Structure 1
Amino acid sequence: MEPIQLFQLASDKAHWLSVRQSVVAGNIANANTPDYVAMDIDPFETVLNSVGSRMAATHPAHFTEDPLRGSVRADTGQDLNVSPSGNAVSLEEELIKAGDIRKEYELSTGLMRTFHRMMLQTVAK
């Protein structure tokens, strides 16, 4: 029987959601910056398949590289309605993304809470 890696997967998903939220927040913050192009992060499934193993930090002074930062790219999925200043950020699209991130986070934490409760019940009996 293989060990259950659900908690690690949930932790990776939460980290991905955190990085995506910071990218979306950066897009919203730069909504009036001339020539700014909206950014987004690769889908979680793509990032999960490409991350693989990485070096462990065994000492607090060790630097660690965030593998998800490399998956930030220009967002080509939007209708690029470029303003006269050259800005291609749609606040409506960014707010929709922020709402989706919140829903995914709530779903992930709800599933983890349920799984944790289920594990506690099986151990207690």
Structure 2
Amino acid sequence: MEIKKIPHDFSVCQVKDYSLVNLETEYCFLGKTDEEKSLVCITSEVPSNTLRRDDGWRAFRIQGVLDFSLIGILSKIAAILANNSISIFAVSTYNTDYVLMKRENYQRGLEILESAGYDIID
């Protein structure tokens, strides 16, 4: 399985509303519940109406379109990283999964996944 590195710094945010979110940017993940409005975006794209933010994330995606019938892809990656004391923040889209790790763990996490048999591509 291929893992594609994404060459951007990301921020995980809680926003007042989505009115200032740049929906035309390359990466923008929105999540809304009865308690909050969340945003994951490239750090340089964090909107000014952000209530809270956590910077310093790097990301990769599981390359290709993942069929909904596939089981355990994200959980295997999460387990490998957790067994090496690396926490993740995951975002799923219709096509695939994105995994974010804190910048200081990113390179080591990729090396661990590569040694576990994943192909890392730029």
Q: Shorter-normalised TM-score: what interval?
A: under 0.3
TM-score computed with the length of structure 2 as normaliser: 0.27
Larger Rg: 1
More helix by share: 1
More strand by share: 2
